[in-house]
Structures are given as C-alpha cells and as structure tokens.
Structure 1
Amino acid sequence: MKLSIPFGIDLGTTHSAAAVYLPGASHPLSFSDEHNRHVMPSAIGLSPAGDLVAGWPAIEGQFGPVTPLTSFKRRMGQRALLRLHDREFTPTEASGHLLSALTGRFSEQLRDREEGAELRLNRALITIPAYFDLPQVEATREAGELAGLEVIGLLQEPTAAAMYYSWKHQLNDGNFLVYDLGGGTFDVSVIRCIAGEYQVLGIDGDNHLGGDDFDRRLADLLRARLNQAGYALGTTLESEDDHLRFELLARHARVLKERLTDQAVAHLQVSEIFSDRQGQRVDLDLEVSRNDFTTSISDLLQGTLAACQRALHQSQEQAAVGLADIDYVLMVGGSTYVPAVQEAIAAALCGPGISRATAPLSDEPEMCVALGAALHAATLGRVRIEGERADIALELEDLPAAPGDPLSGQMELSPEKDAHALELHAPGGEVLARAPLRRHAPGQWNFFLPGYPGGLSERPRAVAVDASGTPVASLTMWLPMRAAESLPAPAPTLSNPAVLSKAIFLEVVENGHPSRHMLVPRGAHLPTRATHRLLTADRSAAVVLRLFQERLPIHTLVLPLPEHTPVGTPLTLDLDVDEALRMSARGTIGPQDFWVRIDPPQAPAHLDWPTIEALLMRADQVGARLWGFEAERFADRVIPLVAGIEAAVHQDPVRLQALAHRLRGLLDDFAPRPTRVPGLTRVEATLNAIRRAVFRRGGTLQGLNQDDWRARLETLQAEVRRVWHEDDDRAWGQLADRIQAIYETVAQDDSRFLRTNPEAYARRVHEVLKLRAARLRQEIREFTRSPDPDERALQEPELLDIDAALAADIQAPLQSIGETANGAPMARHQEELEQLSLRLEQLDDRLQRVRTLGLLKRAEDA
C-alpha cells in the first residue's frame, strides 16, 4: 500500500529544509541526514568524478578548482545563466536539482517509517519570500515541477513561521511581527491572528539582503586587512580572477561569522588560499572582533529595521495595528543567530513603551518555516491512500485522534454513477459505519463519516457501494491510533495567507494619451477578484489589454472586434489572482466572451553601468528641480538609494541591480518624463494633501468656505488632467508649482490656526514630533556607512551618539508627556514641546553632517 503524504519545503538562499506532518503524529518531522543535520546547503556542484551533486556534497569541495553554485534563489525569475565549470543552469534549473535531491534524501529517511506502507513524497507546499514578484513566484513553482513534484501551494515564509510558532507555543490571538533574515533574502510581515485565522496586514523586505551580504562585508574587511599586510588584492572587482578571489574570501568569512556568534574575537588561519594580482600566494592569519563585524554590517541591519517600520506603516493604515500593538516578535532565518541582529531587534521592537512583546521569540529559526509549511500542507493536501488499482484512491482530511472522532475525505472512483456510499467494514465483514458519497467533480467524491466504533485491533476496509449495495471499489484503510496526550493535527483557518506585494495595473487611454488604471491594489489579500467596467475608445476593430505589475509589463491580450463596433461599447473585465499569484482574465465585450490565462512575465533586463550612471545623473537633475516639501520627500527616499548603489558597485553586483531598478521606479514616480517634474502622481498626491488639510480643519480657510474649496479643488483636478496630456511642459511646470504653493500656504495657515487653540496645537505638535523622531531614527538606521573601514570608523561613533541622544532627549520625554497628558491638558507642556522641537532639529543637522565628516573645504569657501 502506498501513502502519498503532502509535505513542506523551505527553499532557502543559503540552506533549504523540509518537514512532514505524518498521520497520527504529535509533531511535524523534519528532514535529517546521516549526520543529524536538519538543513541542506542550497548549492549544486560537481563531484570529483564530474557528477552533478547538491547540498553538502556540493560544498564539501567549495575551496577546490570548481566553485559550486550558491545563492541562486537571489536570482530566481531573472534571465540569467549560471556557469558550473563547463555547464550552464538557469536559477530555476539549479533550484530544481536542489529540490530533487532534498526530496530524494527525505524519502530515504522515511522509507521504513511505517510498517506495511510505502511513504511517497510527491506533493509539496513550497514557501516563498513575502516580497517575491510574479517572475520569482512562477520560477519557484517551475523549480518544484522540474523536481517531479506536484506543487500543491506556495506559502509566504513569514506566514508559515507564524503558524508554527502559534502551534508550537499555543500562542493566543494577537499581532505578530515576523522578522525573517535568511542567507540572501529579508522579509518582514505584520500578521494578525484572530480565532485561528491569520491575516497579513503589512509586508516589506529586500530579496537582495541577508547573511550572504554579511559574509561579503566581512570578506571586504578581510581583503582590506590583507592589502594592509602587503598583498595585491585591490579594492575593486575588475576581472574574473578578482571575482573568484573575493568569492573565496566570502566563503572563509562565513566560517568566521559563525565563530563570532559565540566568540568576542575569532581567529582565522588558512594557508595559500589563492594568488594575488602579482602571483604571490596568500595566507590568511587574522583576528577579527565581533565589534569589527558589527560595525561592518550596521547599515544593512538598520536597513532591515527601516523595512520593519514600512511594514508597520502599512498595517497601521490598513488595520490600525502599529508597533505598540505588536504582541509577539518572531525571529526566523539562520542569520538571526548573529548577536548584533538579536540585540538590534530587542532594542528597536521589544520592551515597555515600544511594543507588548517583552523579547523576541527564537525557536528553531532555521527550521520554523519548513515546519510551518508542513502544518499547512497537512491542511491543503490530504493523505492519499492508493491501492492496487490506479484509478481508486482515498484521501483523508485527518486521521481520527480517538474512536468516535469524525473522519472525512475524498475517494476517486472509476464508475460514473451518481449514487454511491462508503462503508467501513471490520475484518469479519461487519459494517461499522456507512456514509453517502456526493459527487464533487468528475471522478471525485466527497464523504463524511460521523465516527467509528472503538476497540479496533486491526485495520478495517473501506468499501464503496452503489445504490443497490453492490461493492464497486475497496481498499485497506490506514488508521493509526494517536496517543491521548498527542497534539491534534493542525487545522488553522488561515484565510488570506498571501497578499499581493505589487499592484496590478491596466493601461488605458485618457484624453488621447496612455495612462494606468489600477486593477488590484498592493496589499490585497489573495485569492481575489477585481471587476472593472471599461469602454472602447476608438474604431480600431480590436481591444488591447496591456497588464502591468507596477511598471513591469506582464501580459498583452488583443481581442478582435466586429467592424464598425461603436465607440463607447462597454467591456466588463474580471481579473482573478489566486494564492500562488496565478492570474486569469475573463470578461464580456458586446456579444463576445473571452477568457485567458495570464502567463508570468519575464524579469527586467540587466542594467549596465552607463544606464545606472544615467539614472544617478537623472536623480540629481530631478532633485534640483523640486522644492519645498516635495524636495524633502524626494531626498528622503533617493539619498539612501544612491548611497547604497555607490557602496554596492565594487562589492555586490547583484544588489547593485536591485537598487538600480528601485531608483528607476522612484524616478518614474517623481519624473516619468525628463521635461515633466514632478510627475502626475506626485501632483495628485499634493492635491490630496490639500484636501485632507482643508476638510480636517473645517470652517473657513484663506477666505474660502468648505463648498468653495470643494469647487476649487475639483477645478484644479480637472486642470491637472488636461494640462498633463497636453504638450506644453512650461504650462505643466507652472500648474505644479501653483498647486504646491497652495499646499505650503494651507499647511502654514493650518499651523497658525492651531496656535489659537493651545490644547489642539500642543497635541498636534506632540504627534508631529513623534513622527519626526521616528523618521530621524529611521534615517539613522538606513544611513549607508562608507565601504572604507577607516571612514566608517569616523561615522559610527557619531551615529551611535545621535541615536542615543534621540532616544534619551527626545523620545523618552515625548512618551512621558503622552502618558501624563492622557486625559489631562497637554497645553501645559507647550514650552517643553517647543524645546524638544529645537533639540530635534539639532540632531537632524548633526546627522546631515555625518555625510561630510572628514571632507575638505575649497579654499575660496574658507
């Protein structure tokens, strides 16, 4: 008898893992090899005989002449070829080989697990980072199929971790912040659990940030030390040999990093690891302190905290769940073992006055995603019992925990009759229970048995009978008794386990020009259906449906129409997106119905350095043309990106690509045309800010009442749409400046108005100061340290001092004021609040000066 058991896979960047919830078990069983290692390195390589190997055999020879392929998850969905000696693989193919090896070894582990039954692992739930886009999601699914698996679902990694922590620790309902820092990807999710139902409220992350980047920073430190010792390694990656040397240094750095987890100072001694640029053999004999390592990764770590704040901002907007409402902070991923990570998370996200979480929870951080995936796989894909006949199978939703418990499932029958029943027979033939079978789909039958008698010493048989009682199919049941003290099989509701990380748009025409119409917003819970009504705009005898994920084209559908179809003919469009981000579109236009599966898009093309350099120059030009609050918003977002690009040029080409694409998206938002600054979305955002200020205040503002303002804003909105689609760039610039001037004036008037109401003014100042302080802390944490160790040594003490002063001099007093003014007048703190505002400005100025520490001044400026 064969038992097909659904199982979970955590396809990781550095390591991968698997787990399965066996029928009748009290806990998921995780993969383990002959050395009791529960994870497999995400690597493929060549054996000494030249055979393709995966996992530990691949990295055992990692310092040999053929470097194994690693971290290919970071390139999932990209149009890339990875070279392994004389062979080439796509990231999807490399992942497929890895999954095949992991599944095969896990199957070997389970071979003799159950007496009289052959356990088969051919149906898998695979986890993905929460921020994977469509090409990356589809590449993961294809990798599973290449490994010969039926992919029953894709689950976001933070949600899988939250499921496991909740199940393992019997956590009550609450709000979770899941901090998932793996080898090459970082995700953070804010998840709410109510009565066993999980809802994703906010997500953020970086699929090019993780422990691999920590290794590279440490490798850069090693390279600098070796250069100081007289070796010729340079500071750039100008040749293939430079790349290979740095990659080998990164592998040794990983060993050093693991030692620094338990040691304050670690020593690394390796002889003749490679030759330098002048042919001299290089020996590694160095000591590195944990403080040195922490300093080298501090900007990356602060970047993860900034992503946490962005995810919390989403959850605050969507469900009023902020950091103060977080009940549990969950640590996920092997890189959370790094002491600096644990300390930073505890300080920033846990403790009195910050959140309800007293400390981060860390329980099997490398395995919790796979274990959570196994729990969810047990609810998605039932245990399938297969008999001798291939056309008959029984699927069990859950095996009884005790006699009398319900048993439900599904049976596939070859006969196509409408009336069948399922019977449980004792070994002697006695009917123990009988339930009708109801057709679910062709060949698919649902049944529910209310219970079965206790005391069964032998396994009964399941027999399907037709309406007359004639048996039409039977097979042996497999009902192991679960111990009374065992935990029941998991049955989480898990509605909305996935959310859409990037909005879906349809290109439409407005006033004769192409524009984008949002079909599904970012953050929408999946599965979802979006229904939209559109109209034909011309007599071209065709409709073109061009879909985008943000600005990435994903599908174009051309529908022919009868000639002379009238302009304005309505079209109804339904866009369906499932949990695994598979999409389809259906609709009606006139008498014609259509349906199409939307194939996943290709990844964006590789950006060469001249293109990236042009983006940097364009960023300078856009920044010079903006002013006021809009200039501040642009600078807040573009400065960290530009600094990150400059730091990644010689250290991490893969991260360089990710940052460059983000910069291009930001520029498209602020200046979609070189001659149109700011862009349409930014001007409309300013109009919305004016609306909020005007209607929040009420009454008369600038001599206009509420009705006058409503008419004025409607006129401005219409003018914005009209001028944007005209070819007069000068007129657009004048209109944008006028709207921004209105906003600046309204904001100032709003402030003056509040001053006439001391209590409202004090409370407004208090809220603004809290937001400014939070933003300054985020800027400190996102600050991109110099890649040069000596310059970074100048910056780090100043940044730490500013951060400490912010916490002690600003945030602590603000919290105290908020607590004492709860229900009492806050106006009595007005003088103190104004002093805090001045102090905050001083700290902000200090942060800006950190960027210029040590720089020279021109003589004419002295």
Structure 2
Amino acid sequence: MFVDRPVGIDLGTTNSEIAMLDPSERDLHIYADRFGRRTVPSAVAWDPKGEAFLVGYAARQRRGKTPPPVESIKRKMGQNAKVDVGPHALAPEDVSAKILAELRARMSEHLGKQASEGIEVRVDRAVITVPAYFDAPQVEATRKAGEMAGLDVIGILQEPTAAAIYHTWKSRLGDGNFLVYDLGGGTFDVSILRCLGGEYQVLAIDGDNYLGGDDLDRRFAEKLRGILVARGYALDLDVRGDEEDRQRFGRLVHLAQEIKESLSTSEVVSVSKQDFMQDKSGENVSFEGDIGRADYEKAIGDLVETTITCCERALARSAETSSVDLGQIDHVVLVGGSTRVPMVVRRVTEAICKKSRSEKPLQDEVDTCVALGAAIHAAQLGGLRIGEPERKIMVSFTTPLVSQGSKIRLGVRVEQAPEGAAEIAVLRGMSGAEEVAKAALPDAAGAVVRLDVPLGEEPEHASRVALRSVEREVLAELPFALYRGDVRPRASALSRPSVVAKDLSIEVVRAGRRERRVLIARGAGLPAEVKSRFFTADQSGAVVLRLLQNRMPIKALLLQVPRELPVGTPVDLTLRCDDAMRMEARAVVAGQELWAQVEPPAAPRFDPAGAVEALLEEAEATSKSLWGTSATHYRAEADMLVAGIREVVATDPDKLQALCEKLRLLVDWYRGDPNETLSPPMARFEAELNELRRRVYRASGNLYGMDRSAWEKRLAELEARAMAAYEASDAVAWRRVFNEVQALDETAMQEEFAQMRLDDPAYLERRLRSERYYAQSVERHLVDFVPSSSDVGSLQVAERDKLVVQLQEKVLAPLANLTADTTDAAALRRKLEAINAETSRIDGARERLPSLGLVTERGGA
C-alpha cells in the first residue's frame, strides 16, 4: 500500500527546505539530516573523481576547489543562459531540478523510516514557492524544474503568502492584514496581504531580486579587505577577471558570514583567523581583532534601508489600490535567515511595527516557515491519496481528516477501482464489517463523493475505505485514520495567492508620442482578463499591438490591413493571464481576428541585474520631470533610443551597449548622475545660465524690459541663489532657481528673435550653420535607426530609406550650394525657411518610424 501526501518546497537562493503536513494536522514534518540540519544548501557541483553530481552540503564543500560548486542559481532562473557544472553546461532549471530531486529523495527516505511496515510513502506531488517579485519566465522555469525532478507540481505559491499561511496556522490567527518581510540569501521581497475568511489576497508587492544576505556578506567582506590592505597585505583584487582573486574574496565572504552570525548574539566579536588564505604576493593572511556590531551595521546600513524603502513603496501601493496603509497592518512577519541580523529586526520594528497594529514582528521558523506554509497549502490543494496497485484501488481524500464535532464530512474521489465496484463504504476499525457511511459510486469519472462519518470521543479513529460490488462484496479496501481535535485555520482552496509581478502594458500613441498604457497592473490577482478598445492611428497598412512587461517587450501582434483603412478604426484587444502567468491575446480589427499564445517572455539576455530595465525606468521618470524646450529636445532623442533598446535587448549586445550608453549620457545631462544629490546637474544649470548670458550680451537694447546693467544684477542674484541651494543640498530651492533661469532663457530667446533683423548677415550666418547642423543630426538619426524585429520592420525600413533620399535631395544638396556671403539676403532667408520646413517634416516622419502601426486610445486621432 502507498500513501501520497503532497509536500511543500521552498526552493531558496542559498538554502532549500521540504515539508509535509501530517494527515492529523497536528504536526508538520520537515526534513532534517542526522545532524538535525533542516535546510539543504542550494548548491550543485561535479565530483571529477566519482564522475557524479553532488548536491547540498557535499557540493558546498567544493568551494575553493576546481571545479567549484554552482550556487545562487535562483538568481538566473528564467534566463536564457548556461552555467558550467564541471564538464556539463546546464540551464538554470536543470540545476534547480537536481536540487529538487535531492530534496524529494531525502524526504522520501525520511518519511519511509517513520512509516509502518508495508507502507510506501510517496513524494510525487508538490507546491513549490517563488519570490513574489518573480516574473513570468522565472515562474515557468521553476515549474519546469519541478517536472524535471519527477514531481507533479500542483501549485506555485509566492513565498510571502506561504509565510502568512504558516503563521495563521501556527498561531491560530484570524482575519487580518499582513506585511511579510522576506530577506533571504539572495533576494528581498515584501508583500502586503489581506486574509479574509481563509482566503488570501495579495494587495501589493515590491522587492529586489539582487539584494539578500549574500550581499550583506559581500559588503562586509569588502570592509575586511580594506582593513587587511591597510595592514599591508596585497589584496587589490580583480574579482571578475581573475579566478584566484575570486577565490580569495570568497574566503573573505565566508569570514564575513561567520562574523555576521556571531554578532547576531554578541555586541562584540573577537576574531582570530590564522593563515586562512594567501594574498597576491604569496604571504599568508591572518586576521585578528575585535569587530563591534556597530561596525557591521555601519557597513550594511544602506542595504537595510533599501529594504525599508521597498516596504514603504509596497504600503503606498496597497493604500492606493486597497486603502490598506501602515496603520491597518495587523501582523508583520519576518522571513529568511538574514532577518536574524539585529539591525534588520530593529529597523523593521522602528519603521513598521511601531506605526502599525503589530507591537513586534512575528519571528518564528524564519528559515523554514515558507516550506511549512507551502506544505499546509499543498495539503489543502492535494489532500491525501492512498492506494494499492495490485488490488487496483486508489482513492483521494479531498477534505481534511480532522473534525472538532461528533461527525466529519469526507470528500472522497475514487481514482481507480476494481472491476464490478458499485459502492464505496467507510468501515470502523482495522477489521470487521461495522459500516458507518456508504454511497454509490458516481458515473462521472473523477467526481467527489460526500460521506458523513460519525466520530467518537477518541483523538484517533482507525477506519477503512472499501469498494464493494452490487451484492455488497468487498472487492478492495484500504486502511486510514480519522481524527478528533482542533481544526487549525488554513488557506481556502479558493485563494488567489498569485499576483502579477510587473505591469503588463501596451504601447500606444498619445499626442504623437509613444506611451505605455497599463492593461494589468502589478499586484493584480491571477487569473485575470482585460478587454480594451483602441483605434488605428495611421494608414501604414499594418496594426501593431506591442505588449510590454514593465518597459520590456514581450510580443508584437501584427495584423496586415488595407492602406485605405480609415484612421480611427476600432481595434479590440482581449488579454488573458492565468495563475502561472501564461498569457494569450486576441485582437479584432476590420473583421480580421488574430489569436496568439504569448509565451512567458524570455529574460533579456543582455540585461544583467535588470540594468536596462532600470535605465528605461529612469529615462521615463526624467521625461516626466522636464518641461518647455528641454522636454521637447529630450523626448525627441530619448524616444528613439528607447525604441532601439527594446528592439535589440535580446538580440544584439554590442548595439544594446551603444544605445544604452547614449541614453545614459542623455539622462545624466538632463537629470544628473545617480550619485549626485540634486537634479538637474550643476553642468546643465551652468549651460542654461551661460546661454541666457549670451542672449543678454547679444542684445543691442533692452531685453525683457531690462537693460544690460539690470540683467547683470539679476544674473548675479540667480547665480548666488543657485550656489547657496547647491551647497545646502536644498533640492526644492535648487529646482526653483533652475526653472526660473530656464523660463527667462526661453522668454529671452523669443524676444531676441522678435527684435532680430532677418536680413542681418550675422543672423543669416548663424541660421545657415544651424540648418546644416539640424540636417546632419536628422541624417545621423536616420542612419542609426533600429528597425523592429517583427514584420513591421520591413515597413519601417522602406519608410526610412524614402526619408533618406528626400533628405539628400531636398535638404543636404541645396544646403551645400548656399553661402551667407550674398547680396540678396531676402532670397537666402526664404531658401533657409523652405529647407527648415522640409527638414522638420522629415524629422517628424523619422520620429514616427517606431510608431508605425501602433494604436491610439482615441477614435479618429
């Protein structure tokens, strides 16, 4: 006979755990080795001697050896990448599958030792957890890894929800709002959840896929390296380019980890580490000295504050969408081994608990509560399956086997039955024929039978489920147990624990500019469906529905339509997303229909640590902060660069780097370097002020109602106010004086033009230089244009080539024949104005190239 109870697995960045809820629901079983260790390192290595893969502690022990273990593979989940494990090149899901297979094997052995003789305990079904911030490809890769490990993945559960489920079960918490703070080895997540009637709803999520305990260790390891360098050791390390340096820094990280763990219980740690590695000159390195908790906290303080900022963003989102702010939080839950760091507990208590209804954070089983919560949810989803293949009987109990009352209502599904079976019955005891409940087998395969079974006062009742013939002959039976006792709260099977990790949006045209329109917002519960109506914006012969996840492209749906199709023709889009973030889209326009399965988007191959995504977000924020001619000039440049980046992010690393560098320089010029405290940067303020000075000194009379002397006083006053604001780091005053200078410059420019003699040779000379620069700029942008990788790319290239020819014939060639040295100034001015009009037309058409076929939100636009 076999017993199959689904397990919960926390597939962690640093460590992983596996657990199962006992059918009595009184205990949670979690795997522990003979040393009592309940976690398994998420490490895989190749043993060259045994020519076999190693997993867990055996793999971790190969640190510093060749070949080294692969760790923190969770950070690569969902990426189109390979990692070397000895002689093997494995995808991230392949590595994770080996960890899951190891967990499965160990749990099966662990439960088998506890089982009665003749009982086979199977570990075939599982709920696997993922960070709340995981996106579609990462979720799908996790599911695939489970299947490769031989598991039937009956659910993917987000880690904060699992932690909330465990604490609700353990502490018998009622309905309420949770803030789950999960600082693991490699990732940080925060989720705001609402529990109502056993159903969990995720209200908001935030976090950082590249911030965890590993980063705290590396940060302090760098401090230790600095101390050792000051003591004369040769430790100027090239961690990226030199394998030996990487191993040296790895030993410093391990030392930092030991110090971190010691400082969790002591204010000061005396460290004496003799000859624990060699420096670059071959000298043995020793470290002796006292390390105080304050030293450690100073080194990691900004990382901890980053997590608090994530919490504040999640709470702001929750307050906006669900009116649940910090004051409505009932429980603050700490998850992950890194929450043992005293500074983390203190900052969470100060910044969150003291302003909420939770006096202090819940901090129980921080390493394993996610796996334990997943086990509780797995039991709810998968019930208990028992069977005996030789006798062709297999049944599943879909309801708990525990009741507080004098009877229990069982849900039973007969999955396999011997020939002739017509009735199911529950019999009392391990032998005999005392029948306590019966029902006819349903005709529909897989239907659930409901049986009301009386219970006595005993805490456990031995029972049997029997399949009988029409003549009530027992054809096969299986033993099981029913229990009398407390029923702990657990998640309802109706819960929607999965949410959208990133906005799903579509690119549209608004007022001639490309914008994102969010279709399914981040934090929305899954499954979800949205229907939207858009309208054609041009007569390019194509309709393009470009779907984005956050700011990155997922898929472009292209419909070929007649060129004469009127602008403003309705385009109906339906987007569906299931609980695994598998998407499908359906579009209807002019009687044509297009349906497409939108596969989980492959992670951009050339976007390390989300750098491209962060740059696009910064570029979008910069655009919103600008106004006037600054905004016009910035958007003209930035829109084309952003469009190009989206097209090459997964195909061309060299072009991607070049485009990102251009966008980085553009953003830094208008907004400032990320390390600067004030925005816009000083260089841009000085450029704007100097441009205003030049206009003042070029003016022959009063400008804007002031003579040159008054202007000099005004300029000096503006510069003094700016310097005072800059030195005081007063962002509000700095922005105010910059806006004042920009407004004065734009007004002075208009007045200067109004006063200018249009036949002045100096004006004509500047105008000719300006037109040549403008034309060359448009030509450069046309040459640099990156066409779409979808079918619309051919339309864009054809239009681009046409514009290049027009620019050469109507702008560049005529400009080459013009000179400011002429006696007919009026004729030259007319020619320049005609050329400017043609250049502007071509430039406008160039800016619309990435928007060909895109839809708009307003009919007839």
Q: Output the CA distance in 1 between the equivalents of 2:434 and 2:221.
A: 72
Residue in structure 2 matched with residue 154 of structure 1 by the alignment: 156
Q: Judge conservation of contact 1:126–1:373 (CA < 8 Å) in 2.
A: yes
| Deviation readout 1:752-786 (Å, 9 max, x if unpaired) | xxxxxxxxxxxxxxxxxxxxxxxxxxxxxxxxxxx
Residue in structure 2 matched with residue 205 of structure 1 by the alignment: 207
Task: Sort the Cα spacing of 1:379 and 1:560 in 2 relative to 1 into closer, same or farther, 3 A.
Answer: farther
- Tell me whether 494-503 or 143-152 shows the greater mean CA deviation: 494-503
Q: Output the CA distance in 2 between the equivalents of 1:140 and 1:592.
A: 37
Larger CA Rg, structure 1 vs 2: 2
Residue in structure 2 matched with residue 476 of structure 1 by the alignment: 477
Q: Which amino acid aligns with 1:605?
A: R
- Tell me whether 381-390 or 294-303 shows the greater mean CA deviation: 381-390
- Tell me whether 105-114 or 306-315 shows the greater mean CA deviation: 105-114
Q: Judge conservation of contact 2:23–2:401 (CA < 8 Å) in 1.
A: no
Q: Which amino acid aligns with 1:524?
A: A
Give the drift of 1:167: 1.3
Q: Output the CA distance in 2 between the equivalents of 1:264 and 1:284.
A: 19
Aligned residue for 2:100, secondary structure, equals helix
The equivalent position to 1:218 in structure 2, one of 220, 223, 230, is 220
Q: Judge conservation of contact 1:401–1:488 (CA < 8 Å) in 2.
A: no
Give the drift of 1:185: 0.6
Aligned residue for 2:453, secondary structure, equals coil
1:305 is the counterpart of 2:313: no
The equivalent position to 1:434 in structure 2, one of 428, 431, 438, is 438
Q: Judge conservation of contact 1:413–1:444 (CA < 8 Å) in 2.
A: no
Superposed, 1:479-498 pairs within 5 Å as 479-482=480-483, 484-485=484-485, 487-488=487-488, 490-492=490-492, 495-498=495-498
The equivalent position to 1:407 in structure 2, one of 400, 407, 410, is 410
Q: Output the CA distance in 2 between the equivalents of 1:624 and 1:537.
A: 23
Aligned residue for 2:374, secondary structure, equals helix
| Deviation readout 1:532-570 (Å, 9 max, x if unpaired) | 344567788876543221122223445678999988776
Give the drift of 1:384: 1.9
Q: Judge conservation of contact 1:506–1:546 (CA < 8 Å) in 2.
A: yes
Q: Judge conservation of contact 1:193–1:199 (CA < 8 Å) in 2.
A: yes
- Tell me whether 310-319 or 529-538 shows the greater mean CA deviation: 529-538
The equivalent position to 2:194 in structure 1, one of 192, 195, 217, is 192
Q: Output the CA distance in 2 between the equivalents of 1:464 and 1:564.
A: 72
Give the drift of 1:333: 0.6
Q: Judge conservation of contact 2:461–2:481 (CA < 8 Å) in 1.
A: no
Q: Output the CA distance in 1 between the equivalents of 2:569 and 2:422.
A: 50
Q: Which amino acid aligns with 1:580?
A: A
Q: Output the CA distance in 2 between the equivalents of 1:560 and 1:472.
A: 68
Give the drift of 1:590: 7.0
Unaligned runs of 5+ in 1: 635-656, 672-676, 679-736, 742-862
Residue in structure 1 matched with residue 284 of structure 2 by the alignment: 281
| Aligned-pair identity (%) | 42
Q: Output the CA distance in 2 between the equivalents of 1:539 and 1:626.
A: 32
Give the drift of 1:219: 0.7
| Deviation readout 1:73-93 (Å, 9 max, x if unpaired) | 122222333233443333222
Q: Output the CA distance in 2 between the equivalents of 1:287 and 1:194.
A: 50
Q: Judge conservation of contact 2:504–2:518 (CA < 8 Å) in 1.
A: yes
Q: Judge conservation of contact 2:584–2:595 (CA < 8 Å) in 1.
A: yes
1:337 is the counterpart of 2:340: yes
Q: Output the CA distance in 1 between the equivalents of 2:616 and 2:400.
A: 60
Q: Output the CA distance in 1 between the equivalents of 2:27 and 2:453.
A: 24
1:53 is the counterpart of 2:54: yes
1:131 is the counterpart of 2:164: no
1:348 is the counterpart of 2:336: no
Task: Sort the Cα spacing of 1:471 and 1:131 in 2 relative to 1 into closer, same or farther, 3 A.
Answer: farther
Task: Sort the Cα spacing of 1:512 and 1:457 in 2 relative to 1 into closer, same or farther, 3 A.
Answer: closer
- Tell me whether 612-621 or 272-281 shows the greater mean CA deviation: 612-621
| Deviation readout 1:420-441 (Å, 9 max, x if unpaired) | 754445655665423355566x
Q: Output the CA distance in 2 between the equivalents of 1:472 and 1:588.
A: 60
Q: Which amino acid aligns with 1:5?
A: R
Q: Output the CA distance in 1 between the equivalents of 2:569 and 2:9.
A: 48
| Deviation readout 1:674-716 (Å, 9 max, x if unpaired) | xxx99xxxxxxxxxxxxxxxxxxxxxxxxxxxxxxxxxxxxxx
Give the drift of 1:508: 4.7
The equivalent position to 1:175 in structure 2, one of 170, 174, 177, is 177
Q: Output the CA distance in 2 between the equivalents of 1:561 and 1:320.
A: 45
Residue in structure 2 matched with residue 252 of structure 1 by the alignment: 255
Aligned residue for 2:291, secondary structure, equals strand
Q: Which amino acid aligns with 2:252?
A: L
The equivalent position to 1:142 in structure 2, one of 123, 141, 144, is 144
Q: Judge conservation of contact 2:461–2:482 (CA < 8 Å) in 1.
A: no
- Tell me whether 39-48 or 333-342 shows the greater mean CA deviation: 39-48
Q: Output the CA distance in 2 between the equivalents of 1:666 and 1:10.
A: 43
Residue in structure 2 matched with residue 230 of structure 1 by the alignment: 232
- Tell me whether 491-500 or 112-121 shows the greater mean CA deviation: 491-500
Residue in structure 1 matched with residue 372 of structure 2 by the alignment: 371
Q: Which amino acid aligns with 1:531?
A: K
Give the drift of 1:65: 4.2
Q: Judge conservation of contact 1:23–1:398 (CA < 8 Å) in 2.
A: no
Residue in structure 1 matched with residue 298 of structure 2 by the alignment: 295
Residue in structure 1 matched with residue 832 of structure 2 by the alignment: none
| RMSD (CA atoms) | 4.2
Aligned residue for 2:380, secondary structure, equals helix
Unaligned runs of 5+ in 2: 635-656, 672-678, 681-738, 744-861
Residue in structure 1 matched with residue 546 of structure 2 by the alignment: 546
TM-score under structure 1 length normalisation: 0.66
| Deviation readout 1:405-453 (Å, 9 max, x if unpaired) | 0000322358999x9754445655665423355566xx42222113357
| Deviation readout 1:223-266 (Å, 9 max, x if unpaired) | 11111121111165363232232122212221221122122222
Residue in structure 1 matched with residue 361 of structure 2 by the alignment: 360
TM-score under structure 2 length normalisation: 0.66
Task: Sort the Cα spacing of 1:512 and 1:226 in 2 relative to 1 into closer, same or farther, 3 A.
Answer: closer
Residue in structure 1 matched with residue 75 of structure 2 by the alignment: 74
Q: Judge conservation of contact 1:199–1:496 (CA < 8 Å) in 2.
A: yes
Residue in structure 1 matched with residue 124 of structure 2 by the alignment: 122
Give the drift of 1:357: 1.3
Q: Which amino acid aligns with 2:145?
A: A
Give the drift of 1:107: 0.9
Residue in structure 2 matched with residue 654 of structure 1 by the alignment: none
Aligned residue for 2:481, secondary structure, equals coil
The equivalent position to 1:314 in structure 2, one of 299, 304, 317, is 317
Residue in structure 1 matched with residue 654 of structure 2 by the alignment: none
Residue in structure 2 matched with residue 382 of structure 1 by the alignment: 383
Aligned residue for 2:192, secondary structure, equals strand
Task: Sort the Cα spacing of 1:137 and 1:591 in 2 relative to 1 into closer, same or farther, 3 A.
Answer: same
Q: Which amino acid aligns with 2:597?
A: R
Give the drift of 1:188: 0.9
Give the drift of 1:398: 2.6
Q: Judge conservation of contact 1:437–1:446 (CA < 8 Å) in 2.
A: no
Task: Sort the Cα spacing of 1:525 and 1:458 in 2 relative to 1 into closer, same or farther, 3 A.
Answer: closer
Q: Judge conservation of contact 2:393–2:418 (CA < 8 Å) in 1.
A: no
Task: Sort the Cα spacing of 1:617 and 1:519 in 2 relative to 1 into closer, same or farther, 3 A.
Answer: closer
Task: Sort the Cα spacing of 1:479 and 1:98 in 2 relative to 1 into closer, same or farther, 3 A.
Answer: same
| Deviation readout 1:80-113 (Å, 9 max, x if unpaired) | 3323344333322221111111111111100133
Task: Sort the Cα spacing of 1:59 and 1:267 in 2 relative to 1 into closer, same or farther, 3 A.
Answer: farther
Q: Output the CA distance in 2 between the equivalents of 1:477 and 1:392.
A: 8
Task: Sort the Cα spacing of 1:268 and 1:606 in 2 relative to 1 into closer, same or farther, 3 A.
Answer: farther
Q: Output the CA distance in 1 between the equivalents of 2:569 and 2:97.
A: 47
Q: Judge conservation of contact 1:198–1:493 (CA < 8 Å) in 2.
A: no
Residue in structure 2 matched with residue 580 of structure 1 by the alignment: 580
Q: Output the CA distance in 2 between the equivalents of 1:613 and 1:583.
A: 21
Q: Which amino acid aligns with 1:93?
A: D
Task: Sort the Cα spacing of 1:523 and 1:620 in 2 relative to 1 into closer, same or farther, 3 A.
Answer: closer
Give the drift of 1:488: 4.7
Task: Sort the Cα spacing of 1:86 and 1:282 in 2 relative to 1 into closer, same or farther, 3 A.
Answer: farther
